[in-house]
Structure 1
Amino acid sequence: MKSLGSIRRDFAPWADPGAKPYISFENVTKKFGDFIAVNDLSLNIYEREFFALLGASGCGKSTLLRMLAGFDEPTSGRILLDGQDLRGIPPYRRPVNMMFQSYALFPHMTVEGNIAFGLKQDNMPKAEIEARVKEMLRLVKLEQFAKRKPHQLSGGQRQRVALARSVAKRPKVLLLDEPLGALDKKLREETQFELMDLQQSLGLTFVVVTHDQEEAMTMADRIAILDKGEVMQVATPAEVYEAPGSRFVAGFVGNVNMFEGRVAARDAGIARITGASGAEIIVENAGDAETGNAVSFAIRPEKIKVSSRRPEGAVNAMEGEVFDLAYLGDMTVYHVRLDDGQVVKASSLNASRVTEDPLTWNDRAWISFPPDAGVVLTR
């Protein structure tokens, strides 16, 4: 099997049949009146994993986090942490800590006072508190801001104070609810890598809730994609992107083109798909699709080449017209309306300052892609 994307690190307990999950949701359902927020959901998360719950608003991801934290109880099913059933255990007795999007820092306390607050509540000896606070300040690179109060800090610095306070008590699991939502784009991108480094340094299990696909893809070891309270797919970022398990996942994560058709023939792993217009697509990643099946062929925009002439030897090539394009600096995005009426989105990296094959609005164009560029979806 070809590798799907880069390997984040030598850490994949989910691939070991003997590995024991650290957190388990077992047939968990949560109802609010007649509304089912989480529907018979089962999910395993492993120790030291950076795990992301990704989905649109109302998909149940924050409800899962709240149940794990103890703010809500499941209507049915069990949640286990390190083998212990969490039902009935109040939030303050659970070995988890939660960091909210609002940060909720104490405005009258200094940075070090905010970080030390939970440690003082636990009656930790003063010398140990001072050492722990100093360690946390070093980890989040805020040593010089120890005596400042929250209003004297930038948004990114306040976020790091909240993070340091959350991990100061050394919880077994850190829960992060949209932790970077209040930051601007550039700072958010920088903080994603800081969070990854911190999680690696501390060796904790992080569970993050986000609706930001890029955020989940950047930080997480694995992603659970949720819809209407159900898990649609659990996989690594590369697998979710390159090998989506359904039409929903393919359409939800990133940009994608969908070609509808039927499998006209199969030969080992290679399939020939015929569309309603009679156009044919030859694909290698046909999965379990059988001859006669109605399928979708999903392909990402960056896998498609756009040119003014039909590429020599191209197996899959279709002609159309450029009806829209956007120059984004590092890449150009083309919208090509094929002769059968379907609109295809393609993107091309601007690797050089001068375009060899310039295309503009209303030009005739060919799109092409190799047989292994996309994936066949049956559900």
Structure 2
Amino acid sequence: MNKAVGPIKRKFAPWDDPAGVPFIRFENVTKRFGDFVAVDNLTLDIYEREFFSLLGPSGCGKTTLMRMLAGFENPTEGRILLDGKDLAGIPPYKRPVNMMFQSYALFPHMTVEANIAFGLKQDGMESDQINTRVAEMLRLVKLEKFAKRKPHQLSGGQRQRVALARSVAKRPKVLLLDEPLGALDKKLREETQFELMDLQIELGMTFLIVTHDQEEAMTVSDRIAVMNHGVIAQIGTPAEIYELPATRYVADFIGDINLIEGKVSAVSGTQLSLTSEGIGGVIDAEAAEGGDATVGLDACFAIRPEKVRISREAPPAGSHNVLEGEVWDIGYLGDISVYRVKLANGTIVKATVANMTRIVERPITWEDKVYLTWPRDAGIILTK
């Protein structure tokens, strides 16, 4: 099966280069807090100039991993290397990393430019160099006109930019971002995500972000590590994670999806058939990469709602992957409509339709009898 890489924002994929050398390496790292294992024998490589996301629910170990890199926690086992150097024993203030916290932690009595200059002064930089660097940072985050203001005179988005400018002013090798956009409203958060991407590329720095926001990780990242209970469930580009989830957990965690349980009833190379009591029929699909499907094995079929076609017209006789049901619920979200279709045995399957035109009446409405169809390669069968 060809690997779907999807759109990328730049020609940058050092992880696919056999000669590529990781810039950050977590090597068999375990972190315990008493009897609780926060990170469990984890190995992870991150490359220079990469925008990398640690994504997962609360308690999955992502923040602990970042704090160990920053030096606020020490690994119980394993080691962490940055640019080939073992970080063991190096205190946080001597590590070439900087961390931007969700709270921003700006000094309320200082102006914007003073906040940005603070770390530079602590390092003993010459005043003329400080002025040049601060001016450069203000330009990067588009806050030149706000240099003399104090944090309480700024909007939430502007305070976030000040914190970001202060974090990168010292030009660390790695910038660590702990839920950096969590305090912003949805629209401003979306705008800031693109600004963050552009800034990272312009600076040429390595960014490591911790987030539980799937959309945020998908937007900004070169690659994403999806974490679960202290281990990495899958690493890949946003498109790989979304289109080719390796496990039920990843499929269910990223975006919206239909998961239909069943048993593998036929195997032909990467082509599988799944017999499901939930839909009362057989699904023909492809196996997930790295799967070990055999006839009789419990598995599930995963398909995104936007890949399911919904119609009141019956498909041609002999068509594969056809379900018949009744429209049970409709969610109108402006750009799309979400249809929840109830099958004869009560199973609910979701389909989404883009609202391409302004219409007063829906072509499909509540209690309509409809047919759901999809091509063989629209979803995958997961055995893990």
Residue 268 (structure 1) shift = 3.0
- Give the secondary structure class of the aligned counterpart of 1:372: helix
Question: Alpha-carbon deviation of 1:291?
Answer: 2.6
Distance 2:15 2:79 in 1: 20
Task: Give the stretch that moved more between structures: 45-54 or 257-266.
Answer: 257-266
Q: Which amino acid aligns with 1:214?
A: E
Corresponding residue of 2:282: 280
1:339 CA drift (Å):
1.5
CA offset at residue 341 of structure 1?
2.1
Residue 271 (structure 1) shift: 1.8
Q: Which residue of 1 aligns with 2:316?
A: 312
Matches within 5 A, 1:255-294: 255-276=256-277, 278-285=280-287, 287=289, 288=291, 289-294=293-298
Query: How far apart, CA to CA, are the structure 2 residues paired with 1:339 and 1:72?
Result: 54
* Alpha-carbon distance in structure 2 between the residues aligned to 1:315 and 1:286: 19
Return the alpha-carbon distance in structure 2 between the equivalents of residues 138 and 192 of structure 1: 18
Q: Normalising to structure 2: TM-score of the pair?
A: 0.96
Q: Any residues of structure 2 matched to 1:131-146 within 5 Å, and which?
A: 131-146=132-147
Say which is worse superposed, 311-320 or 105-114, in terms of deviation: 311-320
Distance across 2 between alignment mates of 1:171 and 1:159: 18
The answer on whether the counterparts of 1:321 and 1:336 sit within 8 Å (CA) in structure 2 is yes
* CA displacement at 1:255 relative to structure 2: 0.7
1:323 and 2:323 are equivalent in the alignment = no
Q: Structure 1: which 5+ residue stretches go unaligned?
A: none
Q: Tell me the SS of whatever aligns to 1:48.
A: coil
Aligned length: 379
Q: For structure 1, which segment, 285-294 or 91-100, has the greater mean C-alpha deviation from structure 2 after superposition?
A: 285-294
Residue deviations 1:105-150, cap 9 Å, x none? 0111110000000001111111111100000000000000011111
Structure 1 runs, 4 residues or longer, greater than 4 Å off: none
Q: How far is 1:191 from its partner?
A: 0.4
What is the Cα deviation at residue 357 of structure 1? 6.9
Q: Give yes or no for the alignment of 1:13 onto 2:14.
A: yes
- Structure 1 contact 285–372 (Cα < 8 Å) conserved: no
Check the 8 A contact 1:271/1:286 in 2, yes or no. Answer: no
- 3-state SS, counterpart of residue 376 of structure 2: coil
User: Are 2:351 and 1:349 aligned?
Assistant: no
Question: Could you list the per-position Cα deviations for residues 277-305 of structure 1 after superposition, in whole angstroms to 9, with x for gaps in the alignment?
Answer: 64011113454423332211100010001
> In the TM superposition, what is the alpha-carbon distance from 1:32 to its structure 2 partner?
1.1
Q: Which segment is superposed worse, 279-288 or 316-325? A: 279-288
Equivalent residue runs for 1:192-341 within 5 Å: 192-276=193-277, 278-285=280-287, 287=289, 288=291, 289-312=293-316, 314-341=319-346
Whichever residue aligns with residue 54 of structure 2, its letter is: L
Equivalent pair of 1:320/1:366 in contact (CA under 8 Å)? yes
Q: Distance in 2 between matches of 1:342 and 1:8?
A: 39
Give TM-score, length-normalised by structure 1.
Answer: 0.97
Question: Residues 308 and 357 of structure 1 are in contact (CA less than 8 Å); yes or no, is this contact kept in structure 2?
Answer: no
Structure 2: tracts of 5 or more residues without a match = none
Q: 1:72: which partner in 2?
A: 73
For residues 29-65 of structure 1, the C-alpha deviation after alignment (integer angstroms, 9 at most, x for no partner) is 1111111111111111110000000010111111111
Match in the other structure for 2:88: 87
Give the whole-Å Cα distance in 1 for the aligned partners of 2:287 and 2:311.
25
Tell me how far 1:259 sits from its aligned partner: 1.3
| In 2: Cα distance, 1:104 partner to 1:56 partner | 24
Provide the C-alpha distance between the structure 2 equivalents of 1:330 and 1:339, rounded to a whole number of angstroms: 29
Answer yes or no: is the 8 Å Cα contact 1:53–1:208 preserved in 2.
yes
Q: Percent identity?
A: 65
Given that 2:301 and 2:381 are in contact with CA atoms closer than 8 Å, whether structure 1 keeps it comes out as yes
Indicate the residue corresponding to 1:191 in structure 2: 192
CA distance in 2, matches of 1:229, 1:247: 17
Give me the whole-angstrom Cα distance separating, in 2, the residues matched to 1:32 and 1:106: 32
Larger mean Cα displacement after TM superposition, 284-293 or 68-77: 284-293
Structure 2 CA distance for aligned equivalents of residues 80 and 26 of structure 1: 8
Name the aligned partner's letter for residue 188 of structure 1. Answer: R
Cα gap change, 1:370 to 1:268, in 2 (>3 Å): same
Matched AA of 1:292: G
Alignment check: 8 A CA contact 2:244 2:288 kept? no
Q: CA deviation at 1:2?
A: 5.8
Contact 1:270/1:286 (CA < 8 Å) preserved in 2?
A: no
Counterpart of 1:326 in 2: which secondary structure?
strand
Deviation at 1:356, TM superposition (A): 9.1
Query: Separation in 1 of the partners of 2:294 and 2:102?
Result: 47
**1:166 positional shift:** 0.2
How many Å separate the matches in 1 of 2:58 and 2:171?
30
**How far has the Cα of 1:264 moved from its partner?**
1.5
